[in-house]
Amino acid sequence: MHALWRLAALGVAAICGIVSAAGTEDSAKRSGFDFMTPETQALQADDTSNPGMLWVLQGEQLWQQAEGRADVACAGCHGDASQTMRGVATRYPAFDEAMERPIDLAGRINSCRAERQQAEPLTPESDALLALTAYVAHQSRGMPIIPATDARLARFRDNGRRLFQSRIGQLDLSCASCHDDNWGKRLGGSVIPQAHPTGYPLYRLEWQTIGSLQRRLRNCMIGVRAEPFAFSAPELVELELHLMERARGLLVETPAVRP
């Protein structure tokens, strides 16, 4: 069985090519949008057709809905999201004082629920959490990603880079094996993108629903036959920190559509 997995790994490596630790030059950065068919691009570009907008609209309703023992809505503290949340998604994950580590946007929403609304946290990948996260991130659509510069994030971002470049699983591949070194080539009939997190939460045609970046990262780990990190694991947030740094300057697309 080990020999079979090794043979599979060699086959994937042959498709992907030789692995290096180099990243993509700024001048060559491209959103996953650029690798899609014109039909899928059109689906994302038209808000009346983009299925991810259903979750954005749900998030808008939840934003106004009082929750928890405090009986207060997100709007009760933050007001008009189109004003107060504009630009927020461009700089997350951010450092959390209480946790003494980075927190992603979905984590911040759940933190606010617990501390301000005195409500139970929303379950990872639940419609409600995805909807609120998509609604908040949508307010930054069209703005360039500008990762937080807090010096306290440096060691976590470094760990995210290490995780991105580390070979894992029975196929012995890293994220960089495909997304840094072999983007634009095909694997299993699909074009390999550069793995820039410009549109999450996004609607994936394969899933027929919206999903988080953490879901996508876990899918990739399963794809290389590795044990995936649990939802909300620190390692997934650290990976996002690194990915956002790689995507610096690209525009937020939430809710993006992908194949």
Catalytic machinery residues: 220
Length of the chain counted residue by residue: 259
The single residue listed with the structure tokens 């959390």 is 96
What letter represents residue 115's amino acid? E
Bridge partner list, 102: 95
DSSP of 135-177:
HHHHTTTTSBP-----GGGHHHHHHHHHHHHS-BTTTTB-HHH
Contact by Cβ (8 Å): 214, 221: no
Contact by Cβ (8 Å): 231, 186: no
Return the SS3 of 216.
helix
